[in-house]
Structure 1
Amino acid sequence: MTATTLNFVMVNVLVKYVGNALPIFESAFLRFALGLVFFIPFIGQVRQVDFTRRIVKLSVGRAVFHAFAMVAWFYAMTRIPMAEVTAMNFMNPVYVSLGAVVLFGERIALPRIAALGIAFLGGLVILRPGLREIDPGHVAMIFSALFFAGSYLIANALSKELPAAVVVFLMSAMVPFVLLPFALADWVAPSFREIGLLFFTAFFATAAHYCMTRAFACAPQTVLQPVTFVQLVWATSVGYFLFGEGIDGFVIAGGAMIIAAVSFITWREAWRKRRA
């Protein structure tokens, strides 16, 4: 899980280096298109799938959610510090929990409601509305986390019918088709440097997801969830040393509140399952 956090921070670093050199939709498109090479080994598993109408609809829906989540995230990376992007991204599990309640009628008890409330307070500590100007990058990250939550909820539904590798392959293969029309509308010829940066972005993103899968196979989420907070430490350090970004105590405190709340929810769900 520590390797996962390092890989995700490397993704952030490379996206930061690309910056505004390319239009946002084009950068997101190239990140996924170039990354398809890493999924060639899964083609055999994909060919064995019986693609029902439901699977196709869910896969397309997930690709749309994930595509716009990535675009909002790429935009945020050009506007606000890495540490703030990372800390606000910790809200994904919170939105997933709320989505499960709203969309699937999942029951929610008072301790979980309290934990979600603490997580939202953590988000407010990071944003500090009224105490500073809210940048469009902050708004983009709110929508990014919401779109990612939608993607993860659909992925959860698909994982009950398909192998995990196939679920990831379908998302990675469909997202470029969603982004292509927007990318072509404002296409700028990328340099070899930009292609290289986005290729390695795809590499580190794939490595992060692989490491995460291996971590989940080795230990329960209750053990792994707190480790994700290390990603904020990496992001803050890298942002400071590579990009001259200041160290914001409010971001650290808010991120810690969110991770503590998410870790409590994860621990409580695992405890309930053991009792059941």
Structure 2
Amino acid sequence: MRRWFNSLPPYLQASVFAVIASLMAALFSVIVRIATREIDPLQAVFFRNLFGLLFIAPIALRSGFAQLKTQRMPLFLLRALLSMGAMSFWFSAIAYMPLAEATTLNFTVPLFGTVLAAIFLGEAVRKYRVAALLAGFIGVVIIIRPGSETMQLASLLPIAAALCMASAGLTIKSLSKTENSTTIVLYMMLLTTPLTFIPALLVWQTPSLQALGLMALGAFIANITQICNTNAFRIYDYSFVVGFNYLRLPFVVAIALVMFGEVPEIWLLPGAGLIIGSALFIARREAKLAKEARRINRGPSAAAIDLDPPPSRDNRQNINGSERR
């Protein structure tokens, strides 16, 4: 089976990993929804981090404790606080909102990421991305419909989660310049587990074995999601793989309809179209600009010779891996 899979074109391999990641992310949301029927979302956040730490610590520490040395602990702590906020808002959204609506509003992460990068990193936001941002936020307005009778304050939860996720993404972008990915993930779990235990104590109720089992399964599925996403981005271009992330929505709609009887409102369709379309445009626009920048950095002679011939499979993997590192 492995030999057959490795014989597939890189874009098909990446597609398989990306589709599995989207399905696992949808299943994770359903597991959290079921678990939060018994325990508070803040308690569920603690268990997700606790089990996540138990799963990743043995793997991360196989190479010893030397990789834990860092000079950037304040930034690690900021990233942990932002991740704690993101999970708290997101788990609360899953518990109190229709899954399809919460998932769609959470797709605003790239929109907030673009705005925050412009404010704090000084990245240029040209007119095309400004138009995409406006379209995406119009999609948000269509879904939550401010001033209407159907608007709920809970609709702000996935948006707050998206803002925290985008902010955490900026810290990861900075940390990745000096720290390896294993250190970044391990420190997040080491810091968020005790941090999330404090608010969990305020709403604590003894969980059943079923709730603990669900959260352990959820942490395991979340790890699978990360592994599949990492493999997909390693094998093929980011601008191609990122589009598969939005398959979460049809997966969530189908599962929520079958398990919880949730029928999406008609307003979700145009709103989701604007949010997803704008996020995809921004991703592809950034990929194109990065490609042009690399071509310029290689110099005019290299640019004249290399008219983007399709790289071999091994070269494509090496290129993508080096770019992300």
- TM-score class, shorter: over 0.9
2:61 maps to which of 43, 48, 51: 43
Q: Is the 8 A contact 1:232 1:252 kept in 2?
A: no
Q: Report the equivalent of 2:259.
A: 242
Q: Distance in 2 between matches of 1:273 and 1:76?
A: 34
Deviation string 1:7-34 (CA, Å, 9 cap, x unpaired) is: 1001101011012411222111011101
Q: Distance in 1 between matches of 2:74 and 2:108?
A: 26
Where in structure 2 are the equivalents of 1:164-175 lying within 5 Å? 164-175=181-192
Q: Is the 8 A contact 2:41 2:95 kept in 1?
A: no
Q: Distance in 2 between matches of 1:183 and 1:270?
A: 40
Bigger-Rg structure (1/2): 2
2:31 maps to which of 14, 21, 44: 14
Q: Report the equivalent of 2:94.
A: 77
1:145 maps to which of 154, 159, 162: 162
Q: Report the equivalent of 1:231.
A: 248
Where in structure 2 are the equivalents of 1:188-227 lying within 5 Å? 188-227=205-244
Where in structure 2 are the equivalents of 1:58-69 lying within 5 Å? 58-69=75-86
Q: Distance in 2 between matches of 1:171 and 1:50?
A: 12
The one-letter code matched in structure 2 to 1:57 is P
Structure 1, gaps ≥5 residues long: none
Q: Distance in 1 between matches of 2:154 and 2:61?
A: 37
Given the alignment of the two structures, is residue 98 of structure 1 paired with residue 109 of structure 2, yes or no?
no
Q: Distance in 1 between matches of 2:54 and 2:263?
A: 37
How many residues align? The count is: 275
Give the superposition deviation at 1:153: 1.1
TM-score (norm 1): 0.95
Pair 218,154 (structure 1): closer, same or farther in 2 beyond 3 Å? same
Q: Percent of pairs identical after alignment?
A: 27
Where in structure 2 are the equivalents of 1:113-152 lying within 5 Å? 113-152=130-169
Deviation string 1:27-83 (CA, Å, 9 cap, x unpaired) is: 110111012122121124572236344x20111101111111111111111111110
Q: Distance in 2 between matches of 1:46 and 1:153?
A: 28
The one-letter code matched in structure 1 to 2:55 is F
The one-letter code matched in structure 2 to 1:49 is Q
Q: Report the equivalent of 2:301.
A: none
Q: Distance in 2 between matches of 1:45 and 1:209?
A: 21
Q: Which moved more, 1:247-256 or 1:204-213?
A: 247-256
Give the superposition deviation at 1:208: 0.6
Q: Is the 8 A contact 1:83 1:235 kept in 2?
A: yes
TM-score (norm 2): 0.81
Q: Distance in 1 between matches of 2:68 and 2:189?
A: 19
The one-letter code matched in structure 2 to 1:144 is A
Q: Distance in 2 between matches of 1:187 and 1:237?
A: 32
